[in-house]
Amino acid sequence: MTFSAREAAWEILERFERRTPGRRHQTLKLDACLERVFSSAKSASWRSEDRRFCTALTYGVLRRWLPYEARLQALSQFPWSRVAPPVRALLRLGLFQLLDGDEIPPYAALNETVEQARRRGLSKASIAFVNGMLRAVQRQQAAGDWIPPSFEAEPSAHLAQVWNVPEWLGARWLLHYGKSETLAMARMLADPPPLSLRVNTLQTSPKDLKTLLMSAGVTCAVLEDDPPECLTLSGFYGSPVALPGFAEGAFFVQDRNAARVSRFLAPEPGETVVDLCAAPGGKTTHLAALMANRGVLWAVESVAAKMARLQENATRLGVTILQTACEDALTFSLPDGGRADRVLIDAPCSGLGTIRRHPDILLQLTERDLAQYADKQRALLVHGLSLLRAGGEAVYATCSLDVTENGDVARAVLKDCPNVCLLEERQWPISSMGDGFYMARFRLEQVQ
């Protein structure tokens, strides 16, 4: 029997149903799950359309996870926790095809979902439950009977049941960002962001790469207020590896706001610069380009496989000033007691700023995790500052939206390091401009 895209999506979604929130060693990465499916023997006969359909199904369900759960819970005669994970996953998959799947007729969504249950060998009771629940949602949808909580009356519940923002996170956003900006960010989560490329100015120019892409039928543009080396593509859904210029190192796939981080550090040619949390190398190679391949650029990464990937990217992009240190960032020091002109600490974080492209984060992150990240982030920032010469500057950055990982970390370090001053900080929310990012630039006034 042929292994279909729907069956693959069901298997992946079932894994998320069985997940344990807060157990970091069990964290599932949707991209990795899809890659395992695509490289398996079961999908060997798939066409590109099958891969796109499987990707659309899995990402589509994860982007509507909480709204679907609210509707199904309200209709189910059983507590949701008592419904078996395979059945829960199949119901979500059927609901996506019924309510949000483009060009999938309702009868096809219903019939195919029930047939999937039969082919998998679910019990007659489970098959009847799936069929009954989906038909109940269809009737409810036709009658307009599903009315979620209003944003004004119950903002956190509204954010969860309409926009897929967990209630604990919605409450934090409302506290730190206010109602207007919180709702604007939440609405962004319904759709994936466009693909953004950072032009590698060591090899080409934004104008020349744009011409090359446009000649291949790829629509792209440098958008207003974007970093000048960023091109945003529209209507492109293939693999960036297949784009012209990739093999020649003409670009690196990088979010537009992520590209602001290296510019915020503002390295100069000839300087000694350290990227303390370097893999996979997007910001490292950007720093090299801003330095015009002149000076010394240290990339620190403790995982050998990630370091190998970074070096591969650096080679493809023509970076020649790279020095690598495969070790824990907290133990790294420059040779012979040297000091750096600039240090980048792009710290490991919750990734809350990237949930538009990584909706799987929302299913597994807990509020408790934020403080655990902050402990490591403070240590990394303090160590990064210790590598600077007097007058040197460091940038602390996260792809997070939460003050616990951002402003609170900056202020705690300032309190502990009286010889350091904060020059500037910025918080970019999730927007049409890109992912959410925090950046703070510090200066070391004197070496202690």
pLDDT over threshold 80, residue 154? yes
- Tell me what pLDDT residue 102 has: 74
pLDDT in tens, 352-374: 999 999 999 999 999 998 988 99
Which is nearest to 290 in space by CA: 316, 319, 310?
319
How far, in Å, CA of 438 to CA of 268, rounded?
22
How far, in Å, CA of 281 to CA of 262, rounded?
11
pTM value > 0.85: yes
Find the catalytic residue in 54, 399, 417, 421. Answer: 399
Assign 12 a pLDDT band (cuts: 50, 70, 90).
very high
Angle at 115 (CA atoms; ends 112, 118), nearest 5 degrees: 160
- Tell me what pLDDT residue 26 has: 62
Which is nearest to 109 in space by CA: 98, 99, 118?
98
- Tell me what pLDDT residue 19 has: 80
Q: Give the mean pLDDT of the chain.
A: 94
Helix axes 5-17, 48-63, angle to 10 degrees: 30
pLDDT in tens, 44-53: 999 989 999 9
284 and 261 Cβ atoms separated by less than 8 Å = no
pLDDT in tens, 92-102: 999 999 999 87
- Tell me what pLDDT residue 292 has: 98
What does 310-330 look like in DSSP terms, one character per residue? HHHHHHHTT--SEEEE-S-GG
Structure tokens at 37: 């499916």
> Which whole number is the average pLDDT over 25-50?
89
pLDDT over threshold 80, residue 217? yes
Assign 103 a pLDDT band (cuts: 50, 70, 90).
confident
pLDDT in tens, 342-354: 999 999 999 999 9
How far, in Å, CA of 361 to CA of 228, rounded?
30
Q: Is 22 helix (H, G, I), strand (E, B) or coil?
A: coil
- Tell me what pLDDT residue 225 has: 84
Amino acid at 380: L
421 given a catalytic annotation: no
- Tell me what pLDDT residue 20 has: 59
pLDDT over threshold 70, residue 305? yes
- Tell me what pLDDT residue 23 has: 54
> Which whole number is the average pLDDT over 416-431?
95
Kindly state the percentage of the chain with pLDDT values over 90: 87
DSSP-derived secondary structure letter, 335: G
Torsion angles phi and psi, residue 318, rounded to 5: 75, 30
End-to-end C-alpha distance for the chain, whole angstroms: 69
pLDDT in tens, 228-284: 999 999 888 778 999 999 999 999 999 999 999 999 999 999 999 999 999 999 999
Q: Is 266 helix (H, G, I), strand (E, B) or coil?
A: coil
Which is nearest to 165 in space by CA: 88, 48, 70, 91?
70
13 and 61 Cβ atoms separated by less than 8 Å = yes
